Structure 1
Amino acid sequence: MLTSLRNFFEFVLEYFVIFLMLILTTVVVVAVIYRLMGASLAWYDEVAAILLAWITYYGSALAALRRRHIGFDSVLLSIPMPARMWAVGLAEAITAGFFILLAWAGFVVMSILGGMSLTSLTWVPISFTQSVIPLGAILFLICQALSLPDYWRKTANGVSLEHAEIEEEVETEMKKAGHI
C-alpha cells in the first residue's frame, strides 16, 4: 500500500514538474521571439517568475520523496547507534515543523491576498499563484513521510543514500560500456 502510494506521488509529481518546465520553456521562447520582432509581452516576467516558483516548490516535494536533497550521509553514518537514529528523528521533526509552519503561513498569505489579482493578467487571482506555498509544503510533508520508512531502514543499516546512488550510476555506465 505504502509503495503504491509513493509510486503514485512520484509519477504525478514527476510529470507535473515536467509539464511546468515545458510551459516555462514555451513562455520564454515565445517571449524571446516577440522581443526579436520588436514587441514584448506585458505578462512575461510575472508569469515566468510564478512558473519558476512552482517548479521549485513541486520539484522540492519530488526531491523529498526521492530523498535527493543535499545531505550529509557520511556525517550522519559516523554517529554511533542509537544516537544516529535519534539524530534522524530530530532532523525529520525539525523539517516537518518548518513545513507545517510554511503551510500555515501560506494559508495566511492566501487569505490576505484573497481579492487581488496579477498586475499584467488581471483575471488571474494572486491566491491561485500563491497556492503553491501551502500546497507545496503539504506535498513536501507527505513525500517526506512516504519516504521515511525506507530512509530510516537504510540509515539504521548504515547505508549511505549518496554512495548508493553513485555506485548505481557507475554500474549503469559500466553496463553501457560493456564492462559488465
Structure 2
Amino acid sequence: MLHSLRKTFEIVLEYFVVFLMVILTIIVVVAVIYRLLGSSLAWYDEVAAILLAWITYYGSALAALRRRHIGFDSVLLAIPMPARLWAVMLAEAITAGFFILLAWAGFVVMSILGGMSLTSLTWVPISFTQSVIPIGAILFLICQALSLPEYWRKTSYGVSLEHAEIEEEVETEMKKAGNA
C-alpha cells in the first residue's frame, strides 16, 4: 500500500510540475512575442516569478520523494553500521524540523498578507501565490516520509542513491541474497 501511495504521489507531482513548466513556457513565449511586436504584458514579470517559485517548491517535493535532492551519500555510507542509521535519523529529523518551521512560517506569511493582491493582477490574492510555502513544505514532509522506508533499507545495505548507474546492480545482488 505504501508503494502504491508513493507512486500515486510521484505521478501527481510529476504531472503538476510539468504542467507548471508548460504554463511558464507558454507565458514566456507569449511575452517575447508581445515584446517583438512593440508591446509588453504588465503582469508577465510578476506571474513568471511566482510560477518559477511554484516549480521550485513542488519540484523539491518530487525530488524528496525520489531521494534525488542534494545529499552526501559517500560520507553517509562511509559511516559504519549502526551509526550510519543514527546519522540517517538525525538528518531526517533536522530536515523535517526545518520543513515544519517553514510550513509554520508560510502560514504566518499568508495570514499577514491576507488582504493584499498582486500589483499587476489585482484580482489575484497574494495569499494564493504565497500558499506554495506551507503547501510545498507539507508536501516535502509527506514525500520524505513516503520515501524513508526504501531509503532506510538501501542505506542500511550501503546502496548509494547518488550513483544510479550501479543501483541496478546492487538491487540485483540484493534480490539474489533474498533481501529485497
Report deviation, 1:167: 3.0
Pairing 1:26-37 to 2, within 5 Å after superposition:
26-37=26-37
The secondary structure found in structure 1 opposite 2:162 is helix
Shift of 1:169: 8.9
| Counterpart amino acid of residue 46 in structure 1 | E
Q: Does 1:166 align with 2:165?
A: yes
1:24 to 1:69, Cα distance in 2 relative to 1, 3 A: same
Code of the residue aligned with 2:165 in structure 1: it is I
Cα distance in 2 between the residues matched to 1:134 and 1:79: 34
1-structure distance, mates of 2:78, 2:167: 22
- Structure 2: where are the runs of 5+ without partners? 170-180
Taking structure 2 as the reference length, the TM-score comes to: 0.92
Show CA shifts across 1:29-78 (max 9, x none).
Answer: 00000000000000000000000000000000000000001211111000
Give the structure 1 partner of residue 103 of structure 2. Answer: 103
Cα distance in 2 for partners of 1:25, 1:98 equals 31
For 1:118 and 1:30, locate their aligned partners in 2 and report how far apart those are by CA, in whole Å: 20
CA 1:18–1:169 in structure 2 vs 1: closer, same or farther (change >3 Å)? farther
Partner of 1:20: 20
User: What is the identity, as a one-letter code, of the residue corresponding to 2:70?
Assistant: I
Aligned pairs, number = 169
Please, what is the CA RMSD of the aligned residues? Answer: 1.2
Residue number in structure 2 paired with 1:174:
none
Instruction: Could you list the structure 1 runs, at least 4 aligned residues long, displaced by more than 4 angstroms after superposition.
Output: none
Q: TM-score, normalised by structure 1?
A: 0.92
